């Protein structure tokens, strides 16, 4: 269940950062890079800060 939340939240933040980059400032694309880098490192290390936070909030 945590994986679904992580994918949903990551997808939302990516779309949000693209909208912000288009309408506000292109520097918001760095937020997209940050999200992608975190997803990539979690694929190799099996460690995700968002997963830890969601588990502490009681998501199963």
Q: How far is CA 2 from CA 16, 43, 53, 55, 57, in A?
A: 21, 15, 10, 7, 11
- Structural domain total, the chain: 1
Least confident of 1-5, 14-18, 31-35, 54-58: 1-5
pLDDT tens, residue by residue, 25-60: 999 999 999 999 999 999 999 999 999 999 999 998
Cα–Cα dist 51/53, whole Å: 5
| pTM, rounded to two decimals | 0.83
Q: What is the DSSP letter of 49?
A: H
Domain region containing 22: 2-56
Backbone angles phi, psi at 3, to 5 degrees: -60, -40
């Amino acid at each position: 269940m945590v994986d679904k939340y992580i994918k949903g939240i990551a997808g939302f933040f990516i779309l949000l950062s693209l909208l912000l980059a288009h309408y506000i400032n292109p520097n918001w694309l760095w937020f997209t890079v940050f999200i992608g880098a975190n997803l990539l490192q979690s694929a190799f290390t099996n460690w995700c800060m968002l997963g830890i936070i969601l588990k502490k909030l009681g998501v199963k």
